[in-house]
Amino acid sequence: MKTIQRIGIAGAGAMGQGIAQVFAQCGYEVILYDVNSTQLSKAKENIQSILQSAVSKGKMREDEMHAAMARISFVPNVDGLKGDAIIEAIVEQLEPKRELFQLLAAQNAPDTLLVSNTSSIPITRIAKGIPHPGRIAGLHFFNPAPVMKLVEVIAAADTTPETINTLVALVRNIQKTPVVCKDSPGFIVNRVARHYYVESLKLLEERVADHETIDALMESAGFKLGPFKLMDLVGNDINFAVTSSLYESFHYEPRFRPSRLQQQKVDAGHLGRKSGKGFYNYNSPS
């Protein structure tokens, strides 16, 4: 198996910074890249704040916090994104991911693992035309990455067993639980969970109940978060993009149809917690 010491991460949004934190805390050298320098600065502040909170709660020593932060390099230029494995966590669209993989393949060694944190796009589509496709796979973390234990390890059509074995070992080394699956739109979790969102949105569109009632009922049934609270946490833009991707990948099967109501939320900028307003208002005192 390939030895992994340096991890590159493309995209310093919520997922990218969470993944960076996880690897840095587990002793890996991390390069976090984002084209937006403001987002990079925000990611650094967020990671520092989370680690400082862990110190304050007695869950981490201060020297461990400083060591973890020292392992992360924040780079605004894609040329600096070189490592033993690169994890892509950018916008949930096929072409930007493919363009990034072409750049990464050109500036990294032929055995550098190129993996995507995509929620729904088949890895085989991302890997098409990229040199040495055997080293390309999916590594799907869940939000928030430092907390959620499950990581889907996805084998594309040409992914080698060695690549999968290396990634499984890597996931275990960061104290996560790997689940290996074959390439398919949405993989396991997002394919199953999609209808938790889609059917809830249909109920809201049909005015069967309001979103607070639907959330309360689902939480009373044992779900940790109701669907609308969860969509606000994930981000309505991301959730809508994933649903749209599955809808297209399954040749527009009606059961995956995106919600017009959620599209309206996205168009209005009501993205959820990160924008201060989604299905719920997070700017209010309550």
Which residues form the catalytic set? 119, 140, 152, 190
Write the CA distances from 162 to 107, 137, 168, integer angstroms: 22, 11, 10
Measure the CA–CA gap between 123 and 118, rounded to whole angstroms.
8
Please, which residues have CB within 8 angstroms of residue 116's CB and are 6 or more apart in sequence? 87, 88, 97, 101, 123, 126, 136, 137, 138, 139, 140
